[in-house]
Amino acid sequence: MVKLVFFIFLYFSILSIQKIGTPMPTKTGTLRIDLSNIRNNKGYIYIFIYQYNNQFPYNPYKHYKVDKSKVKNGILIAQISNLEFKNNYAISIIDDENNNKNLDRWLGIPHEGYGFSNNVKPFLSLPRYNDLCFNFRQSTKTRIKLQYVL
């Protein structure tokens, strides 16, 4: 009888250890980004997604290249699949019209389009990361209006 109780205890102990060691499945979703005010259909749109302040702006968590051939009336819809549901993400966008993988500038002023989540419009500097953050658990859709200076 003592052996039976011991084996039952051992069996349930092993089961509980296996459950503790098993990672919880990560919940993911699709983020829809409605881009507007796109000047033309030349080149590509680059989408950069950040999870943390120390990633912005040079080390994005994820980045995507979107073909602009489907731009109609200055509007393009991009969908980012399998994005983890996290509290906050920030997004920056570059409209690389000449396909050189850079935001071209003249005297420091961008002459290609750019945009940020929450439609933040920076003045003479990059925006603050916290101003760009949005909650991906509550919203699976965001709108970004691209800005062109020159």
Q: pLDDT tens digits for 76-94?
A: 999 999 999 887 999 999 9
| Residue % of the chain over a pLDDT of 90 | 71
What does the pLDDT read at residue 21?
55
pLDDT in tens, 22-53: 566 678 999 999 999 999 999 999 999 999 99
Beta strand 28-36 with 141-145 is parallel
Q: 13 vs 120, which has greater pLDDT?
A: 120
What does the pLDDT read at residue 75?
98
* CA-based nearest residue to 44, from 64, 71, 67: 67
What does the pLDDT read at residue 4?
45
pLDDT at 108 over 70: yes
Residue 12 within a domain: no
pLDDT in tens, 118-147: 999 998 899 999 999 999 987 799 999 999
Residue 6 within a domain: no
- Give me the domain span that covers residue 130: 28-145
Are the beta carbons of 95 and 102 closer than 8 angstroms?
no
What does the pLDDT read at residue 31?
95
Residue 66 within a domain: yes
Residue 92 within a domain: yes
How many domains, in total, are found in the chain? Answer: 1
Contacts of 57 (CB under 8 A, 6+ apart): 48, 50, 92, 126
The rounded distance, in Å, linking the Cα atoms of 62 and 83 is 9
* Beta strands across the sheet bearing 76-84: 76-84, 28-36, 141-145
Q: What's the whole-model pTM score?
A: 0.82
Residue 2 within a domain: no
pLDDT at 116 over 50: yes
Residue 22 within a domain: no
Residue 32 within a domain: yes
DSSP 147: B
What does the pLDDT read at residue 124?
85
